[in-house]
Amino acid sequence: MPEGGAAPPPLASPAQAGGRAAPRAPVARADPTRRLWHSPLLRRILLMNALPPALLAASLLYLDQYQNGLMAAEVESLRTQARIYANGIAEAAVRPQDDRMVLSPDAARPLLRRLVEPSPNTQAKLFDNNGLVVADSRLREGQGGAIVSEPLPPPEPRRIFAGTLAGLYDRLIGLFPRSVRGASGRDGVVVDVNPDAPSFDWQPDLGPDRREELRIALEGGVNPYVRRTADGRLLVSVAEPARRGNQSVGIVLLTREAREVDQRLFEIRFSVLGLFALALALTVALSVYLARTTATPMLQLAAAAAAMRAGKGRAGSVPEPLLARRDEIGVLARDLQDSATALWARIDANERFAADVAHELRNPLTSVRSALETLLRVEKPEDQKRLLAIIAEDAVRMDRLIADISDSSRVDAELSRTASEPVDIGPILSALAELHQATRKENDPVVALEAPDRLVVRGVEGRLVQVLRNLLGNALSFSPPRGTVQVRARPTGAMVELTVEDEGPGIPEARLEGIFDRFYSERPSGEQFGKHSGLGLSISRQIVEGLRGRISAENRRDANGKVIGARFIVRLPAG
């Protein structure tokens, strides 16, 4: 209801604002991404955010329609009653005068009083065509011609609870932006809530200086006037012209206290606030539920991450209930646990690698130190040359070892920064086979290649060449003189399979997996000292697995089960 401002002009208070239209409830729009609707966490958030406002919006919509309907019904009922009074007076309380009909005050007064008598909390006034009061239902003639005023029933006292409830509701309604419309598309009723709003004794100012308003009233074009008085009454006033034929003889002003409207509004406001309390309770309950299912697990995950950072997560610090969840929290918990496991595995691997490096470097360094100490004591030139040769061999071995250690430490970081791209390994295999053929000695093994001219995998070209050279070099070093190293490559669905077979002694069964460990030391007899560091196959596995592939080793056997060589198998994603 509008607040403040000057009181509307008598009988001309326009209902320009109309009844308040309820705000439309928000329409939920379907998300085009269907996968998003399968999120349990999203459903909880939507439920918490949408349910209480939807209940409140629905209750406000219902109340506005109900309030508009009550006010419209009250006004229409009063208009009908005023029209009946006007028609009765126009028929029974007029007299002819100069070829026209005029009101007869003596007949109109008792008739108006009798018409209003059955309606409690109602007052009627009758005005003539000049705007003068002819009759008032509250006034009658007493003994000796005295004018007696009959008081109307006192206003119903507003209970403290009802007043508090009404005030609370009005404040709540004020928080929501709303437009105002009349019922059924018509202008509605504006309620005057000014502190000085007139009571029952109000009457229009229809004197000679208000001819235009008098003309409008006689033509029946006056809107109803509704106000809330200082003593709490809700009063409705309507005006209807009294016509005899096509001639207006007066105006009936009917004012009634709308107690039933107030009572109904109190009841519905109580219902609305009850719904609001229910929505608030649901919001609190759902918020607690959301906190228990999202915020609390988030804090638990944060505590688990802090424990991992403090070095306490080696055995798994993520709570089991979080790992068992089937929503986004569970995915996050499992990923965090997997990340921690992988991190600790990497830390352990780095520790082992550091220990292995120290061990592998200590051997040549010990040899060099021993040779140097001996060199200082010997005097024979041939002994000195032999010791210097040992020092040179150890230097070559350390240089090779340091280079491979450096390469191994860079593989993971390089692959994480470099995007995989399609690489045709057909020309690479051909080039490696031709290079070996061009440089091989008479008794060296032969490389036999079976591969299509074009075979594309996803990877990093330089690292793939390194893997192929490591595998080919390993097979050549174990193959007997004039033996054959068979290289095959073929597509197998979404993967490309590459095999390298030799005719060497094979791999000890217990070492089929360990052959890819760092510093694997089993080498063919007669190999030049320091030529291999034991990191070639380990680096190859790092590269292949970094490219989302697999590498494995197995023994080749004949029909009798005898080992006739080794086979290395590499599977890489097809490009």
Consecutive 10-residue averages of pLDDT for the chain (575 residues): 40 38 40 50 69 68 71 89 92 87 89 89 89 86 61 68 63 54 48 82 76 80 84 87 88 89 77 76 79 78 81 71 84 84 76 69 78 82 82 78 70 71 91 89 89 89 88 88 91 91 86 72 49 70 87 89 90 89
Q: pTM of this prediction?
A: 0.45
Q: How far apart are CA 12 and CA 18, in angstroms?
A: 14
User: Which tokens is 165 given?
Assistant: 């409830």
Q: Give the pairing type, strands 446-450 and 484-492.
A: parallel
Which residue from 148, 121, 139, 135 is spatially nearest to 229, judged by alpha carbons? 121
Instruction: Give me the pLDDT at residue 268, please.
Output: 75
Cα Dmax for the chain = 165
179, burial (CB in 10 Å: exposed 0-12, middle 13-18, buried 19+): exposed
Residue whose entry in the numeric block shows the structure tokens 């006739």 = 564
Confidence (pLDDT) at 199: 86
Please provide residue 185's backbone torsions phi and psi, each rounded to the nearest 5 degrees: 80, 0
C-beta of residue 10 within 8 angstroms of C-beta of residue 203? yes
Tell me the residue type at 349. A
What is the structure's pLDDT at 408?
A: 67
Strands 122-127 and 550-557: unpaired
Cα gap 470→456, rounded to integer Å: 20
Cα–Cα distance between 474 and 456 in angstroms, integer? 24
- Other C-beta atoms closer than 10 Å to the C-beta of 301 total 19
pLDDT of residue 166: 63
Write out the two tokens for 563. Answer: 């080992």
CA 177-282-22 angle, to 5 degrees, is: 25
Closest CA to 70 of 269, 258, 272: 258
> Which residues does 389 contact at the CB level (< 8 Å), separation at least 6?
none
What is the C-alpha separation between 194 and 8, in angstroms, rounded? 10
Q: Which residues pair with 555 in a beta bridge?
A: 566
Q: What is the pLDDT of residue 183?
A: 36
pLDDT of residue 26: 40
User: For the CA atoms of the chain, what is the radius of gyration?
Assistant: 51
The pLDDT, as a whole number, for residue 205 is 76
